[in-house]
Amino acid sequence: MKRISLIVTLLLTVYTASFAQQKYFVDGFHGGVYGHYPLATYTQFLVDQMNMHPNWYIGLEIEPETWDTVKVKTPEAYLAFQKKLATDQVEYTNPSYGQSYLYCITGESIIRQFTYGIKKIREHFPSVIMKTYSVEEPCFTSCLPTLLPQLGFRYAVLKCPNTCWGGYGAAFGGELINLVGPDGTSIVSVPRYACEDLEKKSVWQTTAWGNNDYYFNACFDYGMKNPVGMTYQDAGWTNGPWIGVNERRLKGTQYTRWTKYIEEQSIGTPIESHRYSIEDVCPGLMWGSQVLSDIAQRCRITEYLIPRAEKMAAMAHMVNGFNHNQKNIDEAWRQLLLSQHHDCWIVPYNRLNKKGTWAENVTLWTTSANELSDEIIKEASLSYIESGKPALKIFNTAGYARKEVVSTSLSDGRFVNVEVEVPAFGYTIIPEDEIVDAKETNTIKINKKECIIENDLYRIALDLKRGGAIKSLKKKDDGFEYVDKRAEYALGEVRGYFDAYHKFMSSVDSPATVYVVEDNELVKTIVIEGEIAGTQFQQGITLIKGDPIIHCDFNINANENVKVGDFTRPEKKAKDDKRTTFYDTRYALSVMLPTAMKSTKLYKNAPFDVCESKLKDTFYNDWDSIKHNIVLEWMDLESTSDNHSLAVFTDRTTSYSYGEDYPLALTALYAGPGLWGRNYKAEGPVDLIYCLVPHCGTWDEARINQLSTCWHEHLIPTKAYSDKRVSKSLISADGTRFELTSVTTEGDDIFVRLFNASGNADKQQVTVAADVKSAIEVDFLGNEVKGVEMSKNADKTVLSIAMPRFGVHTYKLQIK
C-alpha cells in the first residue's frame, strides 16, 4: 500500500510540475559616464546592494568607458565591483561602446560598436558573463541574429518595457522564439510577447515593466509557464531591487538574470520561429527636425570616411609596407561611436558637459574623427614611392571596378572633369599631360516656362511656372516616362503644413528661376530657385555621363519662426489624446516623389539587410501606433506590372511617407514642439541631399546596394608622379555580389570583411594580388571559424567563398 501511495505521490508531483507556473523578473542598470552615472558613489552602492541581497541578480548596460573613470575615482569600490562581476550574480548584456539605437547606423558601425565595447569591458572584467543581449532602450535592428553569434552572444532579448519614449519593438511570440536574421542565422530570443501590451496612460512603458498581475496573468492565459518581466533602472536611481525583496511585494516572483533564465528557468527550447524584419522595430524619434537631421548627416559622413581611411592604409600596406597609426584610427572610431549614442538622437538638446549639448558634442566628435581619418588617407597616399611627370592618381576603396567621372584640381591649377576607370580595391595613375578637361556643350535649354537638362541616360523637363517641379523624366534607353501628368502631386514638389498659414503650402504655388552651374560633355548641373510659404529654397540637379544616379540637393533657408508639421490640433485636447504634431510625416516639409508606375511595392535597406515593406502606409499619430517609416540609405519603388523601378538614395537616416493613395516622399524638415515639449526649431539653412535612380528590374538585378555604396564611398583623387598610365588592383570581388565593408591590418595580417548584398549562396571567387600563405574565416572577435579554399594564379591568390544572401563574414589573410 505504501508503494502504491508513493507512486501516486510521484505521479501527482510530475503532473503538477508539468503545469506549474512561475513568474520571473530581470533587474538591471543602464547609463554610464556619459549618461547619469554618479561616479563618486554609485559603484559602491551597487556592491552594497548585491551584498545585502544575495538572491538578487542584475544585468548591466553601462557605457564601457565608465570603468576607466571609476577605476581612478573610486579604486576600492572598483575592485569590489570587479569581484562581483566574476560571480553569477551579474552579467553584462549590452557592451556596445555608445549604446546606439543600431537601426539608424551602418552595419559596419554596429560591428565596431560591439568589438570596441567588448574589448574595453574585457580589460576591466575579464570573466564577466556576456552571453545575452538586452537593453533598456529600443536598440534593435534586423541583422542582430546575424551579428550577435559572431560576437560571442548566444541569446537576445527584444524587450525594453520601461523606456519606450523613442519607440519599441513589435509584439510577437511567447516565452522563447528562434529569431531568424536576414541571412537565415537564428538566435534564441525572449521577445516582447504577443500579449505584452503597451501600458495604458503611458507613453514610455509596456506592461512588463513591473511585477504586475495583469501582465503575468495575460502571459499565463497565452499559455506561458515561465513568463518574465524586466526593468533596467537608470544608473543613479537608488531603489535597489526594483520590485522589492519582501514576499508581499514579490508575490512569488523570482529575480533572475537573462542567461540563467533562458538556460535554466524557461522552456529551454523555442517552439516557434520569427523572421526578424526591420519593420518589427518601431522608432519614434524627431525625424526631420534640423538638429536630428544634422546629427544623422554628420554620422553618415564619418561612418563611411573611417573605413575608407582603414582601406587606404591597408592598400598602402599591401603595396609598400605602410603602417598607419592605429591609435588615431581607434580614436576616430571612438568619437564616431559616441556620436551614435542613443542620447545624441533622442535628447540632442540636453546638456552633456562643459562643451555643450549632445548635438554640439556630435559636431566636435565627428569633426575630430574626420580630421584623423583624412590625415591617415593623406599619409597612406603619400607613402608610395613614385617618380616621373606630375600625374593624377585615383583610389577606389570598393571591391569592384568602377568607371566614373572625377572632378578635381591638378598640380598646374586646372580644375578638370575627367572620366576614369579604376580597378577593384586599387588605383589608376594618369599623367596630367594626358588629361583633357571636358568640353563645354551648352545643351541645357531654358526659357520662361521650362528648363530641359539631359545627358546620355535621361531627359528631364522642369516646369518653371510650378516651382521647378519635374514635368517629364524619361529614360533614353527605353523611353519610359516616370512622370504621371494626372497625379495630384508633382515629382520634386516640396510641400508641408505651415502653422502660420494654417494649411498646406507647396513649391508649385510659385514660379521658379533656374541657372546653369555646369554644362559640359561629362557633367551638367542646374540650380532651381523658388519660394514656399514666403521662404526661399534652392534645389540642385546634376547629371553625369554614364552615371545612372540623378543627383539632387534641396536647401531651404528656414528660420526659427517657421513651424511646419501637423498643427491641425484642436485648442483643447481630450485627456486620452496622444496625438502629436511630429509623428505624421505627411505634414512635415517633404520632397514628393510620385511616379507613373503602377502596382508598386517598396523595398528599403537596413543595416546588412533589405526589407520588402509590408506596411499598408506609414501614417500614425499616436505613440501607441508607431510604424517603421525610416530610410537608412536607400529605398526602391518597384512596379510589378511594367518592369520599371525608381530608387531613392539619402545622405542620412531620415523618415519617409508612403501609402496606397499617397506617393513616396522624403522628409526634409519638421519644426515645432517635440518629445518632452522641447521646441525643435529651424535655425538657418536646412539641406537634404538625395538621389533618384530610374531603372528596370528589381533592386538586386539593378545592383542598387552597390550604386548606393559607390555614392557614399566616392573615388579619391590625389596627386602623384608617373610617366605612363598605371592600374593596380589589390583585392577584387568583381563578378560577385559581395560588398567590401572593411579591410584592416594587424601586423602582416590582412582582415577582409565581406557582405553578400544581393547574391545567392553559391561559391564566389575573390582575388587577392598577393601570395597568401593562409586564409581562415574568423568571427568579429578574431576567433577561428573555418579554413578557406584557396588556389594560386601567378602572383595572385583566389579565394573561394560561399555565404548566404545578407551574410557578413570576415577573413584573416596571412601574406607571405
Give the model's pLDDT for residue 578: 64
Lowest mean pLDDT among 9-23, 435-449, 611-625, 668-682: 9-23
Q: What was the pLDDT predicted at 794?
A: 84
CA distance from start to end of the chain: 80
Has residue 12 got a pLDDT over 60?
no
Mean predicted confidence (pLDDT) in 361-378 = 98
Helix (H) or strand (E) holding 554: strand 550-558
Percentage of residues in the chain with pLDDT exceeding 70?
96
18-27, 474-483, 601-610, 654-663: least confident range: 18-27
What pLDDT, on a 0 to 100 scale, did the predictor assign at position 438? 96
What per-residue confidence (pLDDT) applies to 586?
A: 97
Given a cut of 90, whether residue 314 has pLDDT beyond it is yes
Cα gap 377→494, rounded to integer Å: 38
Q: What sign does the dihedral 344-348-350-356 (CA atoms) show?
A: positive
Q: What number is the average pLDDT over the span 474-492?
A: 96
Q: Which of 17-31, 507-521, 730-744 has the lowest mean pLDDT?
A: 17-31
Cβ neighbors of 460 (< 8 A, separation 6 or more) are 452, 453, 454, 470, 472, 473, 474, 541, 543, 550
The predicted pLDDT at position 285 comes to 97
Q: What is the pLDDT of residues 752-763, one digit of tens each?
A: 999 999 999 999
Looking at residue 331, its pLDDT comes to: 98
Read off the pTM: 0.96
**Dist. CA 216–CA 223, nearest whole Å:** 11
Residue 576: the pLDDT is 59
pLDDT tens digits for 690-717?
Answer: 999 999 999 999 999 999 999 999 999 9
Q: Tell me, what's the pLDDT at 10? A: 39
| DSSP string across 116-150 | HHHHHHHHH-TT-B--EE--SS----TTHHHHGGG
- Residue 285's nearest CA partner among 795, 14, 655, 553 is 655
> What is the predicted pLDDT for the residue at 36?
87
Average pLDDT for the chain: 95
Q: How far is Cα 410 from Cα 784, in angstroms, rounded to an integer? A: 46
C-alpha–C-alpha distance, residues 87 and 56, integer Å? 12
Q: At 11, is the pLDDT very low, low, confident or very high (cuts 50, 70, 90)? A: very low
pLDDT of 68: 98
Q: Which residue has the cell 567590401?
A: 740
User: Above 70 in pLDDT, residue 19?
Assistant: no
- What is the structure's pLDDT at 581? 87
pLDDT (tens digit, 9 = 90+) per residue, 108-136? 999 999 999 999 999 999 999 999 999 99
- Confidence at residue 571, expressed as pLDDT on a 0 to 100 scale: 53
pLDDT of residue 142 exceeding 70, the answer is: yes
Residue 568's pLDDT band, with cuts at 50, 70 and 90, is confident
Q: Is the pLDDT of residue 570 over 60?
A: no
Residue pLDDT, tens place only, 521-561: 999 999 999 999 999 999 999 999 999 999 999 999 998 88
Q: What is the pLDDT of residue 795?
A: 87
- What is the separation of C-alpha 36 from the centre of its chain, rounded to a whole number of angstroms? 25
